[in-house]
């Protein structure tokens, strides 16, 4: 089984600013035919922009308890390729049975975001090696998460200041050390 999703995910915590959310969505949706799914409540706003997919390769799941989305690629033998049971439903079912330990059953490059509605709890899961990037920043009391930096810096509150140490690392080693980016 192989699930390949190339998408752009975003999440805002404690952000009531509609303009910053729209700025992020505009920065991430540069392709016209990409589909958008999103969820909003009083505390969180999350969503994904995705290339049109077949229904059985669903990248979004929502029920009364949980919202789940994925960005990336999962290679696993734990799933049957069954069009009647969407992949995200299987991932959520595995989470409900095993908790976050279900991620040990997965191989690939991915980010999975789970929003537990009743608990008001956000869970972000990344592949073992962290091959699929996910960026975040905290500005005052809000948190912005995006699969691309431009989704964060499009927000008027995020400071767009160059990290000189990252630039030096890049020109010295041809990559950036630690968990840093070109932006502070």
What pLDDT, on the 0 to 100 scale, is given for residue 20?
66
Whether the CB-CB separation of 70 and 108 falls below 8 Å is answered with no
Average pLDDT over residues 105-115: 88
Q: Is the pLDDT of residue 53 over 70?
A: no
Q: Characterize the bridge pairing of strands 66-75 and 2-5.
A: antiparallel
Tens of pLDDT, residues 18-30: 666 677 777 776 6
* C-alpha radius of gyration, the chain, whole number: 17
Helix (H) or strand (E) holding 66: strand 66-75
Cα separation, 58 vs 46, whole angstroms? 16
Average pLDDT over residues 99-115: 88
Q: Smallest Cα–Cα separation from 52: which of 9, 12, 7? A: 7
What pLDDT, on the 0 to 100 scale, is given for residue 2?
44
Q: Is the pLDDT of residue 86 over 80?
A: no
Count other Cβ atoms within 10 Å, centred on residue 131. 13
Average pLDDT over residues 53-72: 77
Higher-confidence position of 7 and 93: 93
What pLDDT, on the 0 to 100 scale, is given for residue 138?
83
Tens of pLDDT, residues 119-148: 999 999 988 887 888 888 887 788 888 888
Of 25-39, 46-60, 89-103, 136-150, the one with minimum mean pLDDT is 46-60
Q: Is the pLDDT of residue 4 over 60?
A: no
Q: Is the pLDDT of residue 58 over 60?
A: yes
What pLDDT, on the 0 to 100 scale, is given for residue 143?
84
What pLDDT, on the 0 to 100 scale, is given for residue 67?
92
C-alpha distances out from residue 138 to 5, 11, 135, 153, 158, Å: 27, 12, 11, 12, 8
Long-range contacts formed by 22-31: CB under 8 A, 24+ apart: 23/154, 23/155, 23/156, 24/144, 24/146, 24/151, 24/152, 24/154, 24/155, 25/49, 26/154, 27/148, 27/150, 27/151, 27/153, 27/154, 28/146, 28/147, 28/148, 28/150, 28/151
């Amino acid at each position: 089984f192989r699930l390949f999703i190339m998408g752009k995910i975003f999440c805002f915590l404690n952000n009531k600013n509609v303009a910053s959310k729209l700025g992020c969505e505009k920065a991430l949706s540069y392709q016209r035919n990409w589909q958008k799914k999103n969820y909003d409540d009083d505390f969180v706003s999350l969503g994904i922009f995705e290339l049109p997919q077949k229904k059985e390769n669903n990248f979004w799941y929502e029920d009364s308890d949980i919202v789940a989305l994925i960005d990336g690629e999962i290679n696993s033998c734990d799933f049957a390729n069954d069009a009647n049971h969407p992949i995200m439903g299987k991932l959520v079912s595995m989470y409900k049975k095993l908790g976050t330990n279900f991620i040990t059953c997965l191989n690939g490059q991915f980010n999975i975001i789970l929003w537990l509605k009743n608990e008001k709890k956000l869970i972000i899961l990344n592949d073992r090696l962290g091959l699929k990037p996910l960026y975040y920043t905290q500005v005052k009391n809000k948190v912005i998460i995006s699969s691309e930096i431009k989704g964060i810096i499009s927000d008027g509150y995020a400071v767009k200041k160059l990290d000189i140490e990252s630039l030096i690392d890049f020109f010295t080693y041809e990559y950036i050390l630690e968990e840093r980016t070109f932006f502070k």
